[in-house]
Every structure is written in structure tokens, then in C-alpha cells.
Chains A and B, each alone.
Chain A
Amino acid sequence: MLRLIVSRLIFMVLAAFLLLSFLFALFHLIPGDPAQLMAGDNAPEHLVQSIRAAYGFDQPLTTQYFNYMGKVLQGDFGLSNYSRQPVLDIVFPRIVNTAALAGCAMLLAMTTSLILGSFSAMFWNRPLDKGVTVVSLIGICTPVFVTGIIGIYVFAVWLRWLPIGGMSTWKHFVLPVATLGAYQAAIFTRMVRSCMVDALSRDFITTARAKGAPERTVVFHHALRNALLPIITLFGLGLGHTLGGSVVTETIFNWPGLGRLMVDAILSRDLPVLQGSIFFFAIIFILVNLIVDILYTWADPRISYD
């Protein structure tokens, strides 16, 4: 296990640096000039040049690359091209905000899907199962921005129960978490149901029932434990999707998260902020995968990394 963790951490550092180099190259290959953006479409060339000089965009690419990577090795991710604030000061609060949103949404999605998926499997092909299937299909087919806008108009504009933008109180969490969580819950429910239906049809379930085990024990102890392996994988992937997909939710609910920061950085060509954001995004992804691998050994003792 220790070997797995160490090797993954080494891999994480290598992957992150490769990613930074790739991003640097990509960012300079795609069309778009931050100085031109700042100056505006109509600015004369000499003024665009003066911005390039003022912000160091006119240095050779190799100089910019080695300066940047050298600083990153010392933990300095540079300054935002525009606000001139340290990238870490900008990115860290955003990571916390996005983690709070994605974490709560995942918790909601996992809890809901485990309950609904299990009951759906227990009552397979009966009205409850069909009802859950219809609701989850509607959830899957409804884009997050539609759910979000409907939620805003019903609960914030008409009823005025909940706020729309920001994240200063628990009330601010309700709509974005419900919007993001509901979508994931719908996907998870379908998968949990499928895994549970499969598990419930296995021979050991028949044996458990033959021994006279209560149905609750059969479902939640024997079947769910055996269905957990694919479900853990699914939740791991789901967390990645939730983090990546949070940008839409963050935009609709004006949530000051990492997704919105990255979109703004791309549109304004703020390379240091974008690189810093993606670097930490990648670290989170790798860590989540590591946790998923560790959870496998807990869910299925037959799996061992030693």
C-alpha cells in the first residue's frame, strides 16, 4: 500500500509538470494576444507593444518558460497578468470554494443514489422502480443550467426563500448543491440500481435468503457490499465530473469557484492564473484516484497492491 501511495505521489508531481509544460506550449500556440485584449480591438500597434513591454509579454518564449518553471519549483506560481496578485492567493480560496460545492453535491448525490438505487433494485420492475427510473431519466436529460434557472425562479425570485449568488451562509449552498447534486444523483441512481440488480441475482443472495437472513440485511449487507466496487469507481469518476462540471453551476449561481476562474483566465488569456488553476485541478484529480484505489482494498479484501 505504501509503495502505491509513494509511486502515485511521484507520478503526480511528474504529471503536473508535464501538464504545465503542455499548457504553456498550447497557450502560446492558440491565437490570441493578452496585450491586444487589454488594449482593445481598435488600439494602435505601438500601444499594444507598450503593454507587451510593461507586462513582460515581449520576452522570448524560452525565457518566459524557464523563468516560470524555475519559480514553480520554488512554489511561486507567479502573478496574475492583470491584477498582479500572487496566483496562489487567487487560486487557493477558489479551490476551497469549489471543493465545498463539489463535496456537498457529491455527498447529496451518493446518499440519494445509494438509497434510491437500492430500493429500486429491491422492488425491481414494480411501480417504485419504474417511478425512480422515470425521475432519474428526467434528471439525466435535464441540463444543469435548466435545473438551476428553474430553481432560481421558484425558490429565489417567487418564494424568496433562498439567495441566488455568493456563498456566505448555509442558505447559499442549497440551490447550487441541489442543482449539481441532483444531476449526479440521477446518473448514480441508474448505476447503483443496475449494480444492485446484478448483485441481488447472485447465488450468495439466494443462500443468504435461504439461511433466513432478514431482507434488509440481504440487501444492505450482502448485496450492497458486493456491488460497491463498481460504485466506488463510479463515485470516483463522478467526483471528477462534478469538479469539472461545476463551472456551469458556478456561473449560474455566481459561485466564486475554480471553474469560473479558469474560464475567465482562458477568455482573458491570463496564463499564470490558468496554469495555477489547472495544476491544482490535476493534483485533486490524481488524489481522488488514489483515494479510490485505496478504497478498493477496503471494499474488496481480495485486492492487494503489495
Chain B
Amino acid sequence: MTTHKKRVARGVAYMAAAATINAAPLFAQDMEPQYGGELIYAQSGEKFSLFPGRNTDNGAQDIWLNACENLFEINEDSELVPVLAESWEVSDDEKTVTIKLREGVAFHDGTPFNGEAVAFVFNEAKEKEFIYMSLLEGFDYADAPSENEVAFHLAAPFAALLPNLAYKPLCIFSPTAYQEMGEEGMATKIVGTGPFTHEEYVKGEYNLFVKNENYWQDELPYLDSIRMLVVPDPATRTAMLESGEIDRTVQISDFDLPRLEANPELTVRTMASTRQFYVVLNHMKAPFDNQDVRLALNYAIDKAGIVQSVFAGTGATVPMAPTLSPGVYGYTDMRKDGEDSIFQYDADKARSMLTDAGFEDRNGDGTIEGEDGTELSFKLWTRRGGTKGDYQVAQLLQAFLGEIGIGIDLEVMEGAAFSAAVSQPPEDAKYEMALLSWGIPTADPDEPMMYFTHTKAWKPKGANRMFFSSSEIDRLADLAHTTTDQEKRKEYVVAWMAQLLEEAPVIYLPTIHLTLGSRSYVHGDRILATDNYPAVSAWIDQEEKARQGIKR
């Protein structure tokens, strides 16, 4: 074994390409952290089971990260940093990755965290087909070569293994608790090694976490407890923050931000997320099989206009690369010199490209027709409220495409019905166009490359619901998937993005921002590149809290 041994703790060059991130400093520079107090945190709530093997919901991830830790974490600077791991080694054939684990760590139920426990979690995940197994493609089995080591045995080299292990649902829960309670028991109680123990779960109301006195990181956490309230309505969350009823919240309306920023008792932080809107074009239906038409549609959309109108100019950014966003490994600004976004808005260019492709207004009614006289008119499926601003984005798409003579009917669907309708195989997929968004919770390009645009990822096998197929795109994705030489891998990622710009499988739209609002007496909050908000290092300035008249 051991060829290139990598000491993670020294600072990882792995994710170095990283990111233009706006994270505020972790601590107020001139203040000593204070111990004690309860942080009341309101979020929209977990929708499904709390058991990490059956859920990837963002609300649940914020719950796990208090109680259940991963081997690695992708921090706010998009660096892969060890959490329960200390270092790793890769075998000569790159098919075995051995991870040295942190010593002296225990689960909340008192059982030891060791190689056997980690191996159990991943072997169980494979056997029971936990929901995240698509991220561990090629994972064969895990074993424990020693008390404090776990070895991942792979069928083929897998470059994204480590960043994927940082994805929150892959946190290491207690095998003993799992065997005692089963998935059903762990649906309401998560037992891990985290800084807080999960004490109470009241469905749809709150989760209570209490400080883990035996936490392995000395001096952490600072807080005595965290009460996570479920408050689905963003306007209510914002009002509760302003009134001091809660200490922090997320997903604040972009139009409320200027008011909140002007309030000296509040701290509002915004950073780019990895979630990018896009319009699925069903390539099984003409004319979306025509590359020129797809390119024209991309030029027809005023991305900067969407950012201004729907997201108040601050809640999103124009797309600067296809699919990948700042913070994702391999991300590179793919805009042409002097342009504000990829496919910079140019309605005239869009019209002329459509004319070249055989689509023009032949009867002077303002609508474009094909050579056979058929009007270019489509249905655009969308949700309302699935992702912030989705319906408003759909309305603007209708207007922009209408400007170049393409008729769009909006079909608004309820979330569950929409999800089912856009998850059909090619022969059953009824949609022509559908507005969706894509997030990259691992901050690694492997998932989008292998599951978004790859031919073998056509729905229902993956997330290629365009039914797009390109041998060059597939080739570059396969190379990046298996290459562990990170420089080479980045080259493949950039080439993949360039090819996407050539072929335009979807309409690329803005990337939304994340917001974290808190009372100004809360310090040490973090926003990870993976769209999570840990409170392990958060603390409360009690004096300032009292000064603001918050008495709880």
C-alpha cells in the first residue's frame, strides 16, 4: 500500500481551486467566546425521516450536523477538512482507500467510534441500499484493518470518494443504537458523535439538542443547547428574528434583506450556493433535439434581468459556468471576455440562430413557425415555492421567449406531482420544458458529471431528464470520475464545461444565494459550501443579548 500519503490536517490542496466565497469571519476578532445559553434556530423543517440513510432533505441535514459527524467536511472555503478522519492513504492500484480515524471519540450512547463502526455503517448502507449509495458508485465493501482504521475497497478508482464522504447524510451513526432502534427508531432520534446530543423530537414543532459533555474537540461546543424550531413560513421566521424570539434563521426573502441589514441588532450574511436553476429540454421532442435551437433559447434569456427582478439583485448571481457554481471543485469562470454571464442575453442573436435553424415568423403574427408552418409553442412545467423564486423565474422565461416569438404556456404543479412527473423514463416523459434547480451538496463535480449529463444517467437511472447524449461529454465525465490526479481531473472538468457550452443540453439560469440571519449577539456561525449551517463553534454574547432586551 502507501504510495502517495496525504496528511489532510496540513491543509488540503485537494480542493484548492475553490471559491469566491463571501463568508464572514468565524469570530468577532477581539472577543473571547463565552460558554452557555440556548440558541434558538428556526428553519423550514425536516420533511421526512431523520434517519440519514433514507433522507437527503436540507432541513434534516441541519439536524444531523449537530449530532452526527462525517469523516470529512467541506468547509466554507470549499476545502476538504478532516472531522472524524485524520489522514488517508491510497493503494497503488487506487482501489483501496484506508482512512486513519480520530482516536478517543465515542458515540452519544457511550459505544466507541472505531474502524469497525465506520465499516458497519457503509456495509449496511450498501446492503440496505441507503439513499446516498449513488454517490458511492464502485464501493465494494469496507473493513477495519485496525482499531482506528477503516478501508474502503472499490471496484475501480474513484476520485470523488473523499468529498462525497463529506455529504451530510453519510454521517457516522452509532451501529449499536441502529441495531437496537432500527431505522424506525432512528427516524426520530439520531445518535452520532456530534457536539450536541439529540434529546427531543416533536414532529413539526422542534428538535432539542443538548451539549455533549464528552465531545472530542476540547472546549467545544460553547452553547448549552440548541432548540431548532420548525417555522415553515419565511415571513414568520423573519419577524421572529426581528422581535428577538429566535436567535437565527435561514432562507430569508431577498426583498427583506435591505431592511434587516439596516438593523444594527441583526447580522445578515449571504453567500453563493451551489444551487443553479435550469430548464430541462426534453430532447425526445422536436425541436429540442436541435442543438442550434437549444443555443438560441439560451441566448434569449436575460439572466441578469432575472437576478434583478426576482432576486432583488442580491439573492442570486448570473451563471458563470454551466451547472457548476463557485465553490465546486474544478469550477472555472467560463464567461467570454466582457460578457456578464454564459450565453449573454442577445435576443437578436437568438432570433437569427432560430432563422438559420429553419424557424421564423412566416405569417407575420409575431409567433415563430417551423418549415411546415407549425408554431413554436411549448408548455413549461414549474412548481411554485419548491425553490425560492421558481414561479417568478418561470414567468420571466415566458416573457423572454415570447419576445423572440416562442409561445410558452406555464403549467404550475404541486410539488409531489411535479416531482413524479419529471421522474419518468423517456417513453413516459410528457414534458417539453420544465424548470428545475440543481444543487451540488458534495461540492464535487462528480455527481453532476455522472448523474446529470451522462448518457447512462437517463431517468430513471440518474438525473438526466433531458435524455441528452453526447459521447464527448460521457468520455470526459468517465475520465474525471476515475482520475485521481487532481490537476488532470480539473482539466477534464473544464473541458466538460466547455463542451456543455457547445451543446447546451439545458437552458442555464442564475445560481441562488444562501442567507443566514442572526441576532448580532450570536457569534461563530458558519455557512458551509455544502449549504449547511453548523453551530458547533457558535456562542452568545450574553451582555449584548441583555442589552437588546432579550430576556429568555
* Residues in chain A within 8 A of chain B (CB atoms): 30-34, 36-48, 50-51, 54, 79-80, 82-85, 90, 149, 152-153, 156-157, 160, 163-166, 251-254, 256, 260-261, 264, 267-269
Across the interface, do A32 and B245 meet the contact criterion of CB distance under 8 Å? no
Question: Which of B10-18, B415-423, B516-524 lines the interface with chain A?
Answer: B415-423
A residues in contact with B236, CB < 8 Å: 152, 164-165, 251-254
Across the interface, do B422 and A84 meet the contact criterion of CB distance under 8 Å? no
B residues in contact with A80, CB < 8 Å: 203
Q: Which of B42, B188, B240, B459 contacts A83 (CB 8 A)?
A: B188
Would you call B158 an interface residue if the criterion is a C-beta within 8 Å of the partner chain's C-beta atoms?
A: no
Complex Cα distance, B421 from A217, in Å, reads 66
- CB neighbors of A among B451-478 (8 A): 451-452, 457, 459-463
Complex Cα distance, B235 from A157, in Å, reads 12
Complex Cα distance, B419 from A260, in Å, reads 22
Q: Name the distance in Å between B80's Cβ and chain A's nearest Cβ.
A: 22
Residue of A nearest to B452 (CB): A42
Across the interface, do A160 and B128 meet the contact criterion of CB distance under 8 Å? no
Residue of B nearest to A159 (CB): B243
* Residues in chain B within 8 A of chain A (CB atoms): 42, 45, 47-50, 54-57, 128-131, 133-134, 183-185, 187-188, 201-205, 229-233, 235-236, 239-240, 242-245, 414-417, 419-423, 436, 438, 451-452, 457, 459-463, 549
Complex Cα distance, B205 from A281, in Å, reads 20
Across the interface, do B48 and A82 meet the contact criterion of CB distance under 8 Å? yes
Q: Which of B129, B243, B423 contacts A156 (CB 8 A)?
A: B243
Complex Cα distance, B45 from A106, in Å, reads 30
Across the interface, do B204 and A164 meet the contact criterion of CB distance under 8 Å? no
A residues in contact with B415, CB < 8 Å: 32, 37, 267
Can you name 12 A-B residue pairings with CB atoms under 8 Å? Answer: A37-B415, A38-B55, A39-B56, A41-B419, A47-B129, A47-B131, A82-B47, A149-B239, A160-B549, A165-B229, A253-B236, A267-B414
Complex Cα distance, B422 from A163, in Å, reads 42
B residues in contact with A39, CB < 8 Å: 56, 131
Across the interface, do A254 and B243 meet the contact criterion of CB distance under 8 Å? no
Across the interface, do A42 and B422 meet the contact criterion of CB distance under 8 Å? no
B residues in contact with A46, CB < 8 Å: 129, 461
Complex Cα distance, B416 from A220, in Å, reads 54
List 6 extra interface pairs beyond A37-B416, A251-B233, A267-B414, CB under 8 A: A38-B131, A40-B56, A47-B134, A54-B183, A163-B245, A268-B416
B residues in contact with A41, CB < 8 Å: 419, 422-423, 436, 463
Across the interface, do A85 and B188 meet the contact criterion of CB distance under 8 Å? yes
A residues in contact with B201, CB < 8 Å: 83
A160-B243 contact in complex given A39-B131, A84-B49, A254-B236, C-beta closer than 8 Å: yes
Complex Cα distance, B460 from A269, in Å, reads 20
Across the interface, do B131 and A256 meet the contact criterion of CB distance under 8 Å? no
